[in-house]
Structure 1
Amino acid sequence: MSTQHTEQASDMDPAADWKRWHALRTETVAAPYGPLSLTGTHWLADHPDGSIPDIPGQWAETPDAVVLTAGAEDGLTVDGAPLDGEVRLAVDSGPAAARVAHGERRLVVIRREGLWAVRDFDPDAAARRAFKGIDATPYDARWAVPGRFTPYGEDRTVTVGNADGKERGLGLGGELSFRLGGAEHTLQVSVEADGSLWAVFADATSGVSSYRFRFLRPAAPDAEGRTTVDFNRALLPPCAFADHFICPFPPPGNTLATEIAAGERNLLGR
């Protein structure tokens, strides 16, 4: 995950730091190949004949790669050169690293739980053209509190619903505890490769004055498990920007009874 979304503490001016973060976040979302530009996620298992609607070429999955076959008339490029033949494709890290393009569109290969898919990112997507900004509550120091991370003895996987209607495993590495509004709270969290934390949570505002669930990305805990839980930096999940993301819903215990009236709340105009 991008480190720019990880909470960054500031001893200088937290409110000014939050404004910079919010401006960068808005700029990133609105970028030509940001989440607003995703127009489709096509699971190859659903297209056994190799044809994907509105995407040229023949796409076939193998156990360890996707094989793309196309002629010059299809207009596909691989690594910037026209494709006329066959190429084997591994997982792309994102649109910026996508090997395959069709004009301005970037075709991103992904794999989830052993299944291959192709994502279509189009800078001219209707959602990107209609974007008016992110409705976010201004910084308030009461939403940034000390937290303590306690790792599980071993990583756990729980099955949760996803935004596309399917259930998938969500890996969890420990529990984040914190005190907010005079009450103790906990969230089950995943641990990212860089040590930072990731929580999928809902609260009493979810589906009312905020999106139905949100993400939180606290910084990596110190050696004693201490980090900051800053709901001023609660994030809308990718599926709030485009319907074709497969965001996981909150795991058991991650729906807080309190109102978290902070952070990103909705898209403007919704």
Structure 2
Amino acid sequence: MAKRIDVDNLDAYYGKTKAVSGISMTVEPRSVTAFIGPSGCGKSTFLRTLNRMHEVIPGARVDGRVLLDDEDLYAPQVDPVAVRRTVGMVFQRPNPFPTMSVYENVAAGLKLNGVRKADLDDVVEKSLRGANLWEEVKGRLKKPGAGLSGGQQQRLCIARAIAVEPAVLLMDEPCSALDPISTLAIEDLMGSLKERFTIVIVTHNMQQAARVSDRTAFFNLEGPGRPGTLIEMDATEKIFSNPGVKDTEDYISGRFG
């Protein structure tokens, strides 16, 4: 199920403004890759190019290639909606569908994908178990998803994302709005989910990146008023103990950012 991502010389634009420049990287399957770097350096913009969410913004466009197991996601014949089913996304703030129950939130994507009603119960339970949420909500499946706590809502959104069996799961600062206990629950969850999915996370929390990721990519601006770019990418242990670029060391040690 998990797939490899290869990015080749990717630029991302908002209108005429280049936000991200010349990104090339490989994200290995069944791993957690963390994107770190100061605010405004293009981490989240780049993340959204990996499932073609960037181009939803009026005037936004991408140059370069993103390959998912050798399939070019930006090839003319590729359906962006199909890409977003294969490459799921969890956003910074929990966003359960407010008018839907816990059950309906998880089942929403399944229904769109034509899953038979007879199979929905099993897949919903499996997804909630996969998000480590089943025991907490099994008695309130018909109650609004928006009535859960913040940490539970985020895990509900993860359950909704993994229900359609994506190959890749993107997470854009998924813990920034959560308390420490809920954050730990999401971090533990990433460790189990990477056995089935390729996970890419944007985080401003250095300790979190060090705890959860196998590889870390450091982004920074090319200069004042210039686009963001990838400075270096390596095994997380090496990035945090012996980075190859001084800017990486300065950022991780808190000298800027």
Compute the TM-score of the two structures, normalised by the length of structure 1.
0.27
RCO comparison, higher one (Cα < 8 Å, 6+): 2
Compute the TM-score of the two structures, normalised by the length of structure 2.
0.28
Mark the structure with the bigger radius of gyration.
Answer: 1
> Counting strand residues as a fraction of each chain, which structure ranks higher?
1
> Counting helix residues as a fraction of each chain, which structure ranks higher?
2
